[in-house]
């Protein structure tokens, strides 16, 4: 049985991860949602980024039903996106 | 589990290549267009329905050889797998992102006019 900690450990080992969130999804089979910020994505298209993640998780894949890669960004892209949004403190306050 | 490469004979590789060339938009999914048997496959069907272009689906649950073969052919470990104009486009997340950004509509139009 593959758990989110296995997925997280593998991604941290294989990719140059700056920020990572792994969520186990309910539904059909063992599924995970991933949010990854990594320098490894620099200069790569979305398909290539997803392939990189798939490759990193290759040994676990036979036991995984589906991966939903919600975010695959470089630290620069992530920073750019954050600056356009409200400050995090405000967002957290709004979510409470 | 089968050894890597075991699922993809030259005949199967050729048949897949022929099929994705003959059909402009192909989605290899779990279940059928009418009854997708997984949420991710359903998402892909809904998006392709919205695009308005003709597409075909292939139910990988009906054929274990095809199912393992497609993983290798696409170098993509899960389903759905979407092909546009003979090229692997991506899985459900990539389709959602491309649909949202408008890139999918462009790709589909290019494929249909090609």
SS3 track for chain B:
CCCCCCCCCHHHHHHHHHHHHHCCEEEEECECCCCECCHHHHHHHHHHHHHCCCCEEEEHHHCHHHHHHHHHHHCCCCCCEEEECCEEEECHHHHHHHHHHCHHHHHHHHHHHC
Superfamily name with CATH number, domain A4-74: BolA-like (3.30.300.90)
Query: Could you give the percent of chain B with pLDDT greater than 70?
Result: 94
B114/B64 Cα distance (integer angstroms): 33
Residues of chain B under the 50 pLDDT cut? 1-4
Indicate the pLDDT class of residue A86, thresholds 50, 70 and 90. low
Q: Are A40 and A51 in contact (CB under 8 A)?
A: no
Indicate the pLDDT class of residue A88, thresholds 50, 70 and 90. low
The answer to whether A65 faces chain B, any CB pair under 8 Å, is yes
What per-residue confidence (pLDDT) applies to B7? 57
Contacts of A54 in chain B (CB under 8 A): 75-78
Question: What kind and span of H or E run contains A8?
Answer: helix A4-14
What per-residue confidence (pLDDT) applies to A66? 85
Closest residue of B to A34, CA-based?
B93
As for the ipTM of the complex, it is 0.72
Burial zone of A27 (CB within 10 Å; 0-12 exposed, 13-18 middle, 19+ buried): exposed
Mean pLDDT of A65-87: 86
pLDDT one-digit tens code per residue, A13-49 = 999 999 999 999 877 678 899 999 999 999 999 989 9
Interface contact flag, A66 B89, Cβ < 8 Å: no
Contacts of B76 in chain A (CB under 8 A): 51, 54
What per-residue confidence (pLDDT) applies to A87? 61
C-beta neighbour count of A59 within 10 angstroms:
10
Closest residue of A to B92, CA-based?
A68
What per-residue confidence (pLDDT) applies to A52? 94
Which of B41, B77, B88, B99 is best to mutate for the A interface (most A CBs within 10 A)? Answer: B77
Phi, psi of B30 (to 5 degrees): -95, 115
What proportions of chain A, in percent to the nearest 5, are helix, strand and coil?
50, 25, 25
The rounded Cα B34 to chain-centroid distance in angstroms is: 16
Angle at B48 between CA B43 and CA B54, to 5 degrees: 150
A87/B87 Cα distance (integer angstroms): 41
Query: Could you give the percent of chain A with pLDDT greater than 90?
Result: 60
Which of A34, A60, A66, A67 is best to mutate for the B interface (most B CBs within 10 A)? Answer: A66
The answer to whether A88 faces chain B, any CB pair under 8 Å, is no
What per-residue confidence (pLDDT) applies to A62? 87
């Amino acid at each position: 049985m593959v758990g989110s900690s296995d997925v997280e450990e593998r991604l941290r080992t294989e990719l140059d991860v700056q920020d990572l969130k792994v969520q186990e999804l309910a539904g059909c089979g063992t599924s995970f949602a991933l949010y990854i910020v990594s320098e490894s994505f620099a200069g790569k298209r979305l398909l290539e980024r997803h392939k990189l993640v798939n490759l990193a998780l290759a040994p676990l894949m036979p036991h995984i039903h589906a991966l939903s890669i919600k975010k695959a960004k470089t630290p620069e892209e992530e920073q750019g996106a954050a600056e356009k949004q409200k400050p995090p403190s405000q967002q957290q306050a709004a979510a409470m | 589990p089968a050894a890597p490469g075991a699922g993809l004979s030259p005949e199967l590789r050729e048949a897949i290549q022929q099929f994705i060339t003959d059909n402009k938009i192909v989605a290899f999914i779990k279940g059928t267009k009418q009854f997708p048997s997984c949420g991710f496959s359903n998402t892909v069907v809904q998006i392709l329905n919205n695009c308005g272009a003709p597409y075909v689906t292939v139910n990988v649950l009906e054929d274990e050889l095809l199912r393992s073969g497609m993983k290798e052919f696409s170098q993509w470990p899960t389903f759905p797998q979407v092909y546009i104009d003979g090229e692997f486009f991506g899985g459900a997340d990539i389709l959602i992102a491309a649909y949202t950004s408008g890139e999918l509509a462009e790709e589909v139009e290019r494929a249909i006019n090609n």
